[in-house]
Structure 1
Amino acid sequence: MLRFSANLSLLFTEAELPRRFGLAKTHGFDAVEIQFPYSLEPAAIEEQLSEHKQKLVLLNIAADDLMQGGEGLACVPEKQSRFRQAVKEALRYAERLQPAAINVLPGRCFDRRREPAYLDTFKQNLLYAAATFFPLGIKTVFEAINTHDMPGFIIHNGEQMLAIRRELDHPGIFLQYDIYHMERMAENYIEFIGRHAGLIGHVQFADCPGRGQPGTGRIDFGGVFAAIENSAYSGWVGAEYRPVGATEDSLDWFGHSSSSAA
């Protein structure tokens, strides 16, 4: 049975972040994820999770200027010490909140001549993060992001993720697989999930184009959810979309899914 989590960075944004936990619970979500939770102290998040009997399944390590169009943090050689500080900050949250996974966003490279150095830096940083969180039983995940939305993103398809995972061969490193981004890159995500589910640490989804809720684009979510449920994947499936209209009006997919009580 699939288990769905609500991404509180994109869903229920009609309310301030502390209130989104309760709204998610009201609509049936027993798990939540937050892209960057650092505007709230770990104790404040823990209080909300405890009150609403929810689990935090994912958070991201801070990514510097990535969301504002910059190169980000995890792959930039000149920012390696800052990345390690960001890992230490994420560790404060991890120790108290025990998320299932922590995501390292690879970032972008705008000078193609430097791509090998950026990729090498990312691998070093990914290993550093995994060494930090593995003793806590927390997966370190990393994701591919499409180059239409984020030009220059150094990891943008499943094969690249697989190659890095195989090269590093660390038991705490897994893939974060985003259906929306892989649809944008024309990847066969149904086949990929079936073949590599054991290496996937977290799944996210949104429809395409537009990154709205299921039913607003071209993705067959009946097929997607069936493929995930029939695979070896046993983690959470994160609703990370931008609702078209109010969040509560975007949840028809959840009510009709095979595990709407996840």
Structure 2
Amino acid sequence: MTARTSPSAQLLLSANLGFLWTELPLPDAVRAAARAGFDAVELHWPYSVPAPELRAAVEETGLPVLGLNMSRGDPDKGEFGLAALPGREADALAAFEQALGYARRIDAGNIHVMAGLAEGDAARRTFVANLRRFRDLAAPYGVTLLLEPINSRDVPGYFLSDCEAAAAIISDCGGDGIRIMYDCYHMQIMRGDLLRQAARMMDLIGHIQFAAVPDRAEPDHGEVDYGWLLPALRDAGYSGCFGAEYKPRATTDDGLGWIGRIAPRG
């Protein structure tokens, strides 16, 4: 389990630049996150941006890059990940090698391995085999794989929508080097009872994300009281950054008032 922090410790926040400051070039979005007081950044698919340009912004601001997503495949064909698709192993490997190479150039610590739209035993066997191979490729560089259960309302047919299933897959892979990306938005839609579920699985959680439910906007309204939940998750043993992965109602800067209420900067 991650180290327990004191109740008075400041919450650490990461800006997910897949949704925040999307009107800016990615290096400038990193700078905007630093100005807003975030402690880190995380990415979706940064591959169109030359890695040296992004690394320069990271070094300038001092914000670590927590992670990035492996390619989802061809969005025009409805693809949302490749790693659990039987017959697409070569494509999945190429996508992972792209992600690992980029992560190394910007010193990102995690890669979200997107399973894709699939079901059944063949998909599960494919996913496990790919994860074992990817984990072995990433291990020499200290990069961890993340598996994110995604709610079946937003992405019907996504292979992984349940934390228990993710935990079983991690066990089948041998455990080391693979963790769960626990997104409070997705898990509230799927089952609720967020604190108890996350606390029970804390040893397997590598990163936590959050957004308002049900609209995925700023975390200042809706079904989940993050002013209570995030400190409770910290006190349950989570010591990493909480990833703000929400879709702003207007501009990102206009909607940042939630930070002072949920996680005041010291």
Q: List alignment gaps of at least 5 residues for structure 2.
A: 1-8
Tell me if 1:181 matches 2:186. yes
Q: Partner of 1:76 in structure 2?
A: 85
Identity %, equivalent residues:
35
Q: How does 1:229-244 map to 2 (within 5 A)?
A: 229-244=234-249
The one-character-per-residue Cα deviations of 1:30-86 (angstroms, maximum 9, x if unpaired) are: 310111110112211111101111110110111103586335311111210011111
In the TM superposition, what is the alpha-carbon distance from 1:253 to its structure 2 partner? 2.1
Q: Partner of 2:4 in structure 1?
A: none
**Number of paired residues?**
257
In the TM superposition, what is the alpha-carbon distance from 1:169 to its structure 2 partner? 2.0
Task: Return the alpha-carbon distance in structure 1 between the equivalents of residues 166 and 193 of structure 2.
Answer: 14
- Matched residue SS, 2:58: helix
* 8 Å CA contact 2:103, 2:109 repeated in 1: no
Q: Partner of 2:15 in structure 1?
A: 6
| Aligned-residue RMSD, C-alpha | 1.7
Q: TM-score, normalised by structure 1?
A: 0.92
More moved, 61-70 vs 26-35: 61-70
One-letter amino acid matched to 1:241: Y
In the TM superposition, what is the alpha-carbon distance from 1:164 to its structure 2 partner? 1.2
One-letter amino acid matched to 2:233: I
The one-character-per-residue Cα deviations of 1:188-241 (angstroms, maximum 9, x if unpaired) are: 221012122121011111111111111232211122212221122222211000
Q: How does 1:69-108 map to 2 (within 5 A)?
A: 69-70=78-79, 72-108=81-117
Q: Partner of 1:168 in structure 2?
A: 173
Q: Which of 202, 210, 216 pairs up with 1:205?
A: 210
Q: Partner of 1:51 in structure 2?
A: 60
Q: Partner of 1:40 in structure 2?
A: 49
The one-character-per-residue Cα deviations of 1:133-176 (angstroms, maximum 9, x if unpaired) are: 12211211111001101111111011111111222223101111
- Matched residue SS, 1:77: coil
In the TM superposition, what is the alpha-carbon distance from 1:131 to its structure 2 partner? 1.1
* 8 Å CA contact 2:180, 2:206 repeated in 1: yes
Tell me if 1:148 matches 2:157. no
Tell me if 1:255 matches 2:260. yes
Q: Partner of 2:6 in structure 1?
A: none
Task: Return the alpha-carbon distance in structure 2 between the equivalents of residues 164 and 25 of structure 1.
Answer: 36
1:144/1:185 Cα in 2 relative to 1: closer, same or farther (>3 Å)?
A: same
Q: TM-score, normalised by structure 2?
A: 0.91
* 8 Å CA contact 2:184, 2:211 repeated in 1: yes
In the TM superposition, what is the alpha-carbon distance from 1:179 to its structure 2 partner? 0.4
Q: List alignment gaps of at least 5 residues for structure 1.
A: none
The one-character-per-residue Cα deviations of 1:75-110 (angstroms, maximum 9, x if unpaired) are: 11121001111111112112222212111011112x
